[in-house]
Every structure is written in C-alpha cells, then in structure tokens.
Amino acid sequence: MSDITLRLDVLKTYKLYVGGKFPRSESGRVYEVTDSKGQWLGNAPLGTRKDTRDAVLAARAAVKGWSGTTAYNRGQVLYRVAEMLQGRREQFAAEVAAAEGIAVKKAAALVDAAIDRWVWYAGWTDKIAQIAGGSNPVAGPFFNLSTPEPSGVIGVVAPQTGYGHSLLGLVEVIAPAVAAGNTVVVAAAADAPMPALSLGEVLATSDVPGGVVNIISGKTADIAPTLATHQDVNGLDLAGAIAADGPGAAATLEAGAADTLKRVIRPALDPSAQDWTTAPGTERLLSFLETKTVWHPMGI
Amino acid sequence: MAKNKKTEEPQAQAAAAPKAGLFEYAPAPESPAAAGDIATSYGHFIGGEFVDSSGSEALKTVNPATEQVLAEFAHGTDEDVDRAVAAARRAFADWSALPGSERAKYLFRIARIIQERSRELAVLESIDNGKPIRETRDVDLPLVAAHFFYYAGWADKLDFAGYGPNPKPLGVAGQVIPWNFPLLMLAWKIAPALATGNTVVLKPAETTPLTALRFAEICRQAGLPKGVVNIVTGDGRTGAALTAHPDVNKVAFTGSTPVGRAIAKQLAGSRKKLSLELGGKAANIVFDDAPIDQAVEGIVNGIFFNQGHVCCAGSRLLVQESIQDELLDALKRRMDTLRVGDPLDKNTDIGAINSAAQLARITELTAAGEAEGAERWAPECELPGTGFWFRPTLFTGVSQAHRIAREEIFGPVLSVLTFRTPAEAVEKANNTPYGLSAGIWTEKGSRILWTASRLRAGVVWANTFNKFDPTSPFGGYKESGYGREGGRHGLEAYLDV
C-alpha cells in the first residue's frame, strides 16, 4: 500500500492542436511516451496522415487572416506567447527535463531561452521588410519597390535531437515562420512530444488565431511525408528529419517536396550535435518569404 | 480671434454649441479623474528617484482649456542638469553592457505598461496640452506604445540594421522636446536611445511636463535600472544647460528652427552628435483630378489636426486653379462642421491652443495676413470664454511673399495658393526654407511619383496626410532639421556610426 498517496494527481490527456482546438487523433489511437529512463510519462495521440491533412486545411484557412494582420499586430501576438509561456515556466521545465533527460535547472534555463526566443521573433515581425525589402534604383523613370510576403502554409518536422530540441528547438522552427506571416503544421518530435502538445495550450491562450499553428504528434514517417507531398503546402522545414533512410529521411522528403516546388530548409549535417541554444541568424526568418517587386511609372 | 458672444452662459467646459442642422451632438465628456492623481508640485526624476531641485524656482503648468493651474514643477538649474547627466553617466556602463535581448525586454515592458495605462495617459495629456481626447486616445497613445514596441525589437537586432557588426551607443543623450505631442515626442526620443544602449536626460516642454513625469513612474514599474532615464523639467534655460553640458554625447531636439539653429551653433566644434526635427511649412498640393471629398478630408486633417500644432502640418494649400472654387466651397462646408471646444469632449475636433503665448503668435500672424492683403475666412462658431482658443481659419488670395505663406504659424490657419501646371506646383511647394513634409492629391499614380520625386521634403503623403508609424522614418530636408526618427533609419541618430 506504500504507493497510495494522500492526494492523487490529475493527469493530463494530451491532445493534438489543430485549428485552435484540441482534438484527439481521428485514429482513436495513442502511443506511450517515456522519459530517458523508460518511465512512462503519458500517452500521446497517434496522429495520422488524415490528421495531418486536416491540419493543412486548418492552416490554409488561417493564412488569409494571419498574413493580412499588420506586422505590429503579429508582433504583439508573439510577445503575448512569451508572456503566457513565462507564466507556465515550471510546468515546461519539468516537461523538458523529462523529455531530454536533463536536470530541471538546466531545463528551466532552456525554457527561459524559449521565452526569449519568442520575444526575439516578436521584434522581427515589423522589421523583416526593412532588411529584406527596399527600393531598387532602376535605370528609368520608374518607382520600383521590393517587399517580402509570406509563402503560405509551412510543414515543419520539429527537431528530434540536439540540446534543447524539445521546446527551444521547437520554438525556433515555429516562431520565425509565423513571425513572417506564414501558418504552420508541425510534426512534433516523436519520442518527446509533450512540450509540443503543451505549447499548443499556450498558443491557444495567446491571441494566436486558430489554425496559425497546428501540432501533430505521432510517427514522423507518417506525418512528414504527408506534409512533404501535400499539394497545398508551400514550404518545408526538415529540422527533425533524422531517419537515415525510408519515407522519413530528409532526402526522400525533399524529393517529395520537389513536386510542388516547396521551399525547403534542410536539416543540419549532424542533427544530434545541434545546440538549439545557439543564437539564431535570419535563415529561418527569410526562408519562407516571397519577394514581390512592384513597378510604377513616374511622370506627369 | 472671435469673441464669445454669449458670456452669460457657463462655458468653461462647454463644447462649442452644436451647429444647427441635421446632427446635434450631446456632450460626451471623458472623466478628468481618469488622469489619476496630479500632485500639487513635482521635482525632477533623477537616478530613479523623484528629487527636489537645487534651486527654489517653480514653474506652473496650466490647463489651456480652463487656465487653471494643474501643478507646479521645478525649474531645472544647471546643478540639477549636472546631477541628471551624472546619473545617466553612471548608469551608462551597465546599461550599454546589457545583452540587447535584456534591454529589449525592458522596452517591451514599458510598451505594455503604456498600453495598460493608456486611458490615464490620454486624459492627462489632453488636460495638460489642450488637444482633444479623441486624438490623444486614438493617435498619441497608440503611437507611443507602438514606438516602444518597435524599438524594443531592434535592441537585440542592431547587427542587422545595416550599420556594420556590433554598432556602439554614443553615451548620454540630452533630449529636449516640444509641447505639441508631449508623450509621443518623448517616445520618439527615449525608445531608440535606450534600444541602442544609450542613457538619457530628457527635458519636457515647460507647458506640458505632466505626462513625462508620469512616464517616470512607468519606468519604475518596469524596473528600469536607475539613471537610465532621467527627466529634468524647466524652460529654455534648462534645455540650454542640458544641450551645452560637456558630458552629454548626443543631443536630440524637436522644436523651432531658430532654437535648432542656436543649438547647432552651440555644439559646433564639440564631438556631440546632433539630430534636429524643426519647423515646417508643408505644401498640400491638390491637382485637378483629385478626389475632392477625400482631398478635403486630407486638407482638414492636414492643418486642423492637433489645432495645427504640428511641425509637418499641411499649412500651405496649393490648389490647381481650375478646381479652386469647387474645392474651397467643399472645404468651407467641411470646416463649418468642425467642433471647437472642451478637449475632454469625445466629439471635439479642435481643442485649446496650448498657451497664451502661442495664441498671441497665431493672432499676430493672422493679423499680418489680413494686413498684407490676404482674405480671411472662418466658420461661425462659439468659443468658450476661458482658456485659449482659435477658430479654424483659412486665407485665400495668398501670395508666396506673404508672411502667412512663409512663416510657421503653428495653429489652425491654412493659407491657400493656386497653380496652373505641375511644374509650377513643385516650384511653389519648394519655395520655402523648410522641407519637412508635403502632400499630393491626384488619382494618377505616375503623377504622384513624379511630384514626390521633385519635392524637397522628408515625408511625402499621397492621397493621405499626417500619417505616422514607428516603422516609417520621419524628418526634414533643409532648415527643417536633420536626422530621422522612426524606422531603421532612426537608429543611426543614437549609434556611433
């Protein structure tokens, strides 16, 4: 009887995050998630190809509204995510510690870094055009201006390895895409999806419109190829494509993405050696942008 | 200035009587209590504390709509300025050494607290300045918060701003701001200075110190390190002491061209970096194909926004001769509906003139307009009996030589000139020592761009006017000053580049 406590914890039912709602997988299936020592952490929904396609639909529906908001508004929403995440710091520290097999103190530092990463991208929303656009001095009586626009729906294979991958790495692949005005469908890290599924709860309470970020847990080999080959996905971030071969391998996914000429971010050469605490540059921010150039004559 | 004809009516808080006509407005007064507690007297904010002045001289700030004294505040002495600069200098090493991401978070905090307290600040600004609550609520305060939010984001991204890797701050910035947009000008000065790692001593205008002092409280709520922001109140003598202080590395001034010129002379030979945002005499050019109703709204917004106390106001209307009559008829009809009166009434379009001195200047210049032969017109409207008021006024038959076409009136007074060809419009628009802003009204895009490319002005609005955004650089050509505020360009004024 020694394992009976005075008060029993209420465990969370982890769910997908799609279109601003928290559905179970259409498969009705879950899979066991364990910590680094093999201890059971919980059951995660086993998201399917169908769940992924539903999420793409939700992401597509959100493009018009999200890309149409002012950059200032998007910045405030992203900052709101940081505010909400700060309030749940301890919860995420525990989840990251369990997911990555590190001490809670180290995990808390990773959560802090994740909060600051949202702030970093919140500040970028209204500056992207100022570093990636500009007027072009064409040789003629024309006004000529280039401005960046978001690509649309981005499929993201979330990082599955590397220090800080479970939350900080996840933020690093979501935030820049949405800062630029894209919407995303994320294949959560298969072995450590808890921080990702909990992040959905943060996003849902942060003024992020439903459908802007969609998070699917399950087998990468099911979800990632669906994103890569989907006709209505415009870009693909392969950060977590770590399979050596098969349908989940980066090369296979990139080849699938080529059918609709998706913009692709390739994974690091050695994803397991990646340190997600490294300060980001602008690659992810600028990868899922289209440059639009407008000409207009000047004359009386 | 029109006299109030119904002196027997209580009029201190009464908005102008509604026009007879289709619509009559009931008063919709904002509560003055929303401004929060106003102390009877204020000291300076130095090193994170409110402190008494070393001197005993106190100035008074009045509500220009009622002429009632709102509070006394300290006149900053040379010694006060010295203490403030020393506090800023002490704070500089740690502040500039903070990672940009940490400086950013302080500024984000300030932006959020301003958003939270925006109603309080808007009402306080209206009371101290005289501008309508509709403008403080819908223009000033949203822009103030947005400005801090925007520059917060730059604090950790300076490497990407186009000034080379790791650009350095200048040190202590001495900033002197005007009374027309007290809190907005504070934001334009403080946000980029702090984002780039400088510390500041700011002197608000002597007729509008209250929101700057309230901002000091916000800095404390945000936990801003002591001495990073210092506020020293006073008049022009305090400003001169600040800009002349040997331990100030950067001077930023917004105000009149004569004072800007004097500061530039004062700083000659020093190593201080200087940015100046000075006067203007903007041309608002209306071509014959312009959408008339839209243009009329733009003209009204251009000159009557903020009682015309706007350095970039569209104070010279250049209208193509062929549409002059039609446009002026429509403009007068529109001016007839403007409501002048209680700044705290949400229906008020034109509030109080900021001070007796400014009212005297407007009165003097408009008298000169009549004396020089221009024809004056203003709609009939009653003005409150106490406070400083001026009816929206336009002058026709204005020549380029008239004082009202050359000098900045800084009041709700529009001078109308005409032109026949686009080239003539450009010629007349540029015929001024100023070069802050301009407006163009035409349905033809190529004509907008042709005209804009020829105007010697720092901001050109096409089919709109008086639009501001933290991402958009603002500043003048020629004697309207130099340096830009806002946007990526606004960082340069506070970086050693």
The alpha-helical segments, DSSP class H, found in B57-132 are 78-97, 100-116, 118-129
Active site residues of B: 277, 311
**Pairwise CB contact (< 8 Å): B153 & A116:** no
Judge if B57 and B134 occupy the same domain: yes
Residue A276 contacts B where some CB pair is shorter than 8 Å: no
**Pairwise CB contact (< 8 Å): B146 & A75:** no
How far is A170 from A187, CA to CA, in rounded Å? 10
Handedness of CA A244, A248, A250, A255 (dihedral sign): positive
Interface test with chain B among A77, A80, A130, A286, by most B beta carbons within 10 Å = A130
CATH number at residue B194: 3.40.605.10
How far is B411 from B388, CA to CA, in rounded Å? 12
Is A277 part of a structural domain of the chain?
Answer: yes
Q: Give me the pLDDT at residue B24, please.
A: 79
HSE toward the beta carbon, residue B134, CA cutoff 13 A: 15
Tell how far CA A82 is from the center of its chain. Answer: 15
Q: Which domain holds residue A138?
A: 41-297
Measured between CA atoms, how close is A299 to chain B, in angstroms?
5
Q: How confident is the model at residue B107 (pLDDT cuts 50, 70, 90)?
A: very high
| In the predicted structure, residue B5 carries a pLDDT above the cut 50 | no
CATH number at residue A119: 3.40.605.10
Terminal CA-to-CA distance of chain A, rounded, Å? 91
| In the predicted structure, residue B17 carries a pLDDT above the cut 90 | no
Residue A86 contacts B where some CB pair is shorter than 8 Å: no
Interface test with chain A among B471, B489, B491, by most A beta carbons within 10 Å = B471
Measured between CA atoms, how close is B488 to chain A, in angstroms?
7
For the beta sheet containing A213-216, the strands, ordered from the edge strand earlier in sequence to the opposite edge, are: A213-216, A183-187, A153-157, A235-237, A263-265
Whether the CB-CB separation of B51 and B84 falls below 8 Å is answered with no
CATH number at residue B370: 3.40.309.10
| In the predicted structure, residue B11 carries a pLDDT above the cut 80 | no
**Pairwise CB contact (< 8 Å): B446 & A300:** yes
**Pairwise CB contact (< 8 Å): A79 & B108:** yes
Report helix, strand or coil for B271: coil
- All residues of chain A having their beta carbon less than 8 Å from the beta carbon of residue B160 are 127, 131, 282
Paired with A99 in beta bridges are none
Enclosing H/E stretch for B325: helix B324-336
Is A252 part of a structural domain of the chain?
Answer: yes
B413-432 pLDDT, tens per residue?
A: 999 999 999 999 999 999 99
ipTM above 0.90, yes or no: yes
DSSP annotation of B308: G
Considering only alpha carbons, which residue of chain A is nearest residue B159? A281
Judge if B452 and B308 occupy the same domain: yes
Measured between CA atoms, how close is A112 to chain B, in angstroms?
12
Measured between CA atoms, how close is B450 to chain A, in angstroms?
5
Judge if B237 and B319 occupy the same domain: no
A102-136 pLDDT, tens per residue?
A: 999 999 999 999 999 999 999 999 999 999 999 99
Measured between CA atoms, how close is B392 to chain A, in angstroms?
33
Query: Tokens 């501001």 appear where?
Result: B468
Q: Which residues of B lie inside 8 Å of A (Cβ-Cβ)? A: 101, 104-105, 108, 112, 146, 149-150, 152-157, 160-162, 422, 445-447, 449-450, 453, 470-471, 487-488
**Pairwise CB contact (< 8 Å): A72 & B160:** no
Closest by CA position to B303, among listed B487, B461, B471? B461
Is A261 part of a structural domain of the chain?
Answer: yes
Measured between CA atoms, how close is B151 to chain A, in angstroms?
8
Q: Which of B112, B446, B471 sits opposite A299 (nearest CB)?
A: B446
A184: left (phi over 0), alpha (psi -120 to 50) or beta: beta
Question: Which H, E and C letters describe B375-432, residue by residue?
Answer: EEECCCCCCCCCCCCCCCEEEECCCCCCHHHHCCCCCCEEEEEEECCHHHHHHHHCCC
DSSP annotation of B314: -
How far is B280 from B313, CA to CA, in rounded Å? 7
Q: Which domain holds residue B425?
A: 283-462
Interface test with chain A among B114, B194, B450, by most A beta carbons within 10 Å = B450
The alpha-helical segments, DSSP class H, found in A140-272 are 170-179, 194-204, 220-229, 250-258
Measured between CA atoms, how close is A247 to chain B, in angstroms?
38
Is B19 part of a structural domain of the chain?
Answer: no
Structure tokens at B308: 């015309």
Judge if B131 and B163 occupy the same domain: yes
Interface test with chain B among A76, A121, A278, A294, by most B beta carbons within 10 Å = A76
Whether the CB-CB separation of B179 and B352 falls below 8 Å is answered with no
A256-270 pLDDT, tens per residue?
A: 999 999 999 999 999
Q: How confident is the model at residue A1 (pLDDT cuts 50, 70, 90)?
A: low
Query: Which residues are within 8 A (CB) of B176 and not within 5 positions of it... i.e. 6 or more apart?
Result: B202, B203, B239, B242, B243, B251, B252, B253, B254, B255
How far is A177 from A124, CA to CA, in rounded Å? 11
> Taking all residues of chain B, what is their mean pLDDT, rounded to a whole number?
95
Report helix, strand or coil for B117: coil
Residue A120 contacts B where some CB pair is shorter than 8 Å: yes
- All residues of chain A having their beta carbon less than 8 Å from the beta carbon of residue B161 are 131
- All residues of chain A having their beta carbon less than 8 Å from the beta carbon of residue B113 are none
Percent of all residues in chain A with a pLDDT value above 70, rounded to a whole number: 99
How far is B343 from B131, CA to CA, in rounded Å? 6
How far is B433 from B407, CA to CA, in rounded Å? 10
Is A22 part of a structural domain of the chain?
Answer: no
Is B44 part of a structural domain of the chain?
Answer: yes
A4-23 pLDDT, tens per residue?
A: 778 999 999 999 999 999 99
Residue A296 contacts B where some CB pair is shorter than 8 Å: yes
Is B469 part of a structural domain of the chain?
Answer: no
- All residues of chain A having their beta carbon less than 8 Å from the beta carbon of residue B155 are 123
Judge if B219 and B288 occupy the same domain: no
Residue A124 contacts B where some CB pair is shorter than 8 Å: yes
Q: Which of B101, B149, B449 sits opposite A298 (nearest CB)?
A: B449
Query: Tokens 């000033």 appear where?
Result: B140
Residue B401: count of CB within 10 angstroms of its CB: 9
Whether the CB-CB separation of B353 and B129 falls below 8 Å is answered with no
Whether the CB-CB separation of B81 and B232 falls below 8 Å is answered with yes
Report helix, strand or coil for B328: helix
The alpha-helical segments, DSSP class H, found in B196-306 are 210-221, 236-244, 257-267, 292-304
Judge if B262 and B387 occupy the same domain: no
Q: Give me the pLDDT at residue B12, please.
A: 43
Structure tokens at B29: 């007064």
B436-466 pLDDT, tens per residue?
A: 999 999 999 999 999 999 999 999 999 999 9
Residue A76 contacts B where some CB pair is shorter than 8 Å: yes
- All residues of chain B having their beta carbon less than 8 Å from the beta carbon of residue A124 are 153, 157
Q: Provide the residue count of chain B.
A: 497
DSSP notation for A236-298: EE-TT--BSSSTTBHHHHHHHHHTTT-EEEPPPSSGGG-BTTSPP-SHHHHHTEEEEEEEEE-
Q: Give me the pLDDT at residue B22, please.
A: 64
Closest by CA position to A81, among listed A35, A108, A121? A121
Higher pLDDT, A36 or B93: B93
Measured between CA atoms, how close is A124 to chain B, in angstroms?
6
Residue A65 contacts B where some CB pair is shorter than 8 Å: no
How far is B450 from A141, CA to CA, in rounded Å? 8
Q: How confident is the model at residue B255 (pLDDT cuts 50, 70, 90)?
A: very high
- All residues of chain B having their beta carbon less than 8 Å from the beta carbon of residue A297 are 445-446, 449
How far is B126 from B34, CA to CA, in rounded Å? 11
- All residues of chain A having their beta carbon less than 8 Å from the beta carbon of residue B453 are 298
Q: Give me the pLDDT at residue A2, please.
A: 65
Judge if B296 and B336 occupy the same domain: yes
Q: Across residues A51-67, what is the average pLDDT?
A: 98
Query: Which residues are within 8 A (CB) of B172 and not within 5 positions of it... i.e. 6 or more apart?
Result: B85, B88, B89, B92, B198, B199, B200, B201, B247, B248, B249, B250
Structure tokens at B157: 């991204």
| In the predicted structure, residue B201 carries a pLDDT above the cut 60 | yes
Query: Tokens 């656009």 appear where?
Result: A133
A149-190 pLDDT, tens per residue?
A: 999 999 999 999 999 999 999 999 999 999 999 999 999 999
**pTM here?**
0.94
Judge if B193 and B305 occupy the same domain: no
Q: How confident is the model at residue B20 (pLDDT cuts 50, 70, 90)?
A: low
Residue A138 contacts B where some CB pair is shorter than 8 Å: no
- All residues of chain B having their beta carbon less than 8 Å from the beta carbon of residue A281 are none
CB pairs under 8 A between A and B: 71
Q: Which of A76, A116, A297 sits opposite B101 (nearest CB)?
A: A116
Residue A140 contacts B where some CB pair is shorter than 8 Å: no
B28-66 pLDDT, tens per residue?
A: 999 999 999 999 999 999 999 999 999 999 999 999 999
Judge if B412 and B483 occupy the same domain: no
Is A2 part of a structural domain of the chain?
Answer: no
Is B22 part of a structural domain of the chain?
Answer: no
Structure tokens at B333: 């009809």
Count up the domains in chain A and report the number. Answer: 1
Interface test with chain A among B144, B160, B421, by most A beta carbons within 10 Å = B160
Query: Tokens 């890797």 appear where?
Result: B165
Q: How confident is the model at residue B21 (pLDDT cuts 50, 70, 90)?
A: low
How far is B184 from A22, CA to CA, in rounded Å? 43
How far is B31 from A250, CA to CA, in rounded Å? 63
- All residues of chain A having their beta carbon less than 8 Å from the beta carbon of residue B446 are 296-300
Is A134 part of a structural domain of the chain?
Answer: yes
Q: Give me the pLDDT at residue A16, please.
A: 98
- All residues of chain A having their beta carbon less than 8 Å from the beta carbon of residue B150 are 72, 126
B371-406 pLDDT, tens per residue?
A: 999 999 999 988 999 999 999 999 999 999 999 999
Q: How confident is the model at residue B9 (pLDDT cuts 50, 70, 90)?
A: very low
A223-279 pLDDT, tens per residue?
A: 999 999 999 999 999 999 999 899 999 999 999 999 999 999 999 999 999 999 999
How far is B173 from B89, CA to CA, in rounded Å? 10
Is A5 part of a structural domain of the chain?
Answer: no
How far is A94 from A104, CA to CA, in rounded Å? 6
How far is B16 from B30, CA to CA, in rounded Å? 16
How far is B35 from A86, CA to CA, in rounded Å? 31
> What is the amino acid identity at position B468?
F
Count up the domains in chain B and report the number. Answer: 2
Is A32 part of a structural domain of the chain?
Answer: no
**Pairwise CB contact (< 8 Å): B157 & A122:** no
Residue A71 contacts B where some CB pair is shorter than 8 Å: yes
B259-284 pLDDT, tens per residue?
A: 999 999 999 999 999 999 999 999 99
B217-249 pLDDT, tens per residue?
A: 999 999 999 999 999 999 999 999 999 999 999
Tell how far CA A54 is from the center of its chain. Answer: 17
Q: Which of A116, A127, A282 sits opposite B153 (nearest CB)?
A: A127
Interface test with chain A among B108, B159, B320, B448, by most A beta carbons within 10 Å = B108
